[in-house]
Amino acid sequence: MGYSNDGEFGLHLLGTWMLHRHGVSIHVAPRQQRLVAALAVKGPSLRNHLVGLLWPEYPDAKALESLRVSMHLVSRQVPGLIVNNGPMLSLCERADVDLHTVQARLRDFRRVASEVEAAALLADLRDARLLPGWYDDWVVSEQSRLQQDRLRAFTIIARQSLDQGHCETAGAAAEAALEIEPLYEAAIQILIEGELKHGNPAAALRNYQRYQKKLEEDMGLQPSDSLTRLVARVLDGQARTRKEPLVPTNEFRVREKPVFNHT
């Protein structure tokens, strides 16, 4: 996913951590990456807050020294990226951060006007995972927040696309939601409704049965009554098919009568 190229710096936090200056990649060591990422995610921050965030296991004096060293190295490697206002540190205004672009889209997102817009938003959000492989507590918290915002957006896109008759986009958005929450019933319901609207009752039933099995195995629960009612007609149809004889009863009786009348 792209970000604005108007700034001097381009910082990627979605997927792999990367920093560019005027389009040229800059190598930054992992410890300094954490400082830059914290300022990008948390915004302008007091030094005392940063040391508690980045070095919670260190005594205050050692943590402050670690911050001082990291600041020095970043300033030497990437001059101008971090603004030092005494007790407050921040990223410079010339830094474009892909996370901020996604957050703005999620914040302003209410309704998709067209299938093209829905598909574009879905493509932008689908791989928008914050710093995968980073397990600092503050990162995990922000990862979870972004994940829930994406889940909400995928569900809205799926429902609106289905209501507008765009079943393919609806299905893709529902699948994206299920990548985040595999047992998210709202997304399963949209998948099933889409298959039924497309005239694919067998596919709808398979989706239901896979969900039912996984929900039972993972949680010991059954699907909600409303979801079961959605596929009830398909289940009823299968049950009637199994009960019907291969040859209708009346036809069988007619064939039992003798063809000729011997008297």
Contact of 15 with 132, CB cutoff 8 Å: yes
Nearest of 181, 240, 192 to residue 215 by alpha carbon = 181
Alpha-carbon gap, residue 121 to 4, rounded angstroms: 16
Q: Which CATH number fits domain 9-97: 3.20.20.80, 3.50.50.60, 3.40.120.10, 1.10.10.10?
A: 1.10.10.10
Residue 263's pLDDT is 37
Residue 251's pLDDT is 41
Alpha-carbon gap, residue 212 to 113, rounded angstroms: 34
Alpha-carbon gap, residue 117 to 89, rounded angstroms: 37
Dihedral of alpha carbons 103, 105, 111, 115, sign: negative
pLDDT values of the chain reduced to their tens digit, one per residue, 263 residues: 444 456 799 999 999 999 999 999 999 999 999 999 999 999 999 999 999 999 999 999 999 999 999 999 999 999 999 999 989 999 999 999 999 999 998 887 777 768 888 888 899 899 999 999 999 999 999 999 999 999 999 999 999 999 989 988 999 999 999 999 999 999 999 999 999 988 899 999 999 999 999 999 999 999 999 999 998 877 676 555 555 444 444 443 333 333 334 43
Residue 255's pLDDT is 38
Find the largest Cα–Cα distance for the chain.
Answer: 120
Contact of 150 with 106, CB cutoff 8 Å: yes
Tell me the domain boundaries of the chain: 9-97, 109-181, 182-247
Residue 4's pLDDT is 46
Which distant-in-sequence residues (6+ apart) come within 8 Å of 48 by Cβ?
A: 87
Residue 2's pLDDT is 44
Residue 241's pLDDT is 54
pLDDT digits (tens, 9 = 90+) for 194-211: 999 888 999 999 999 999
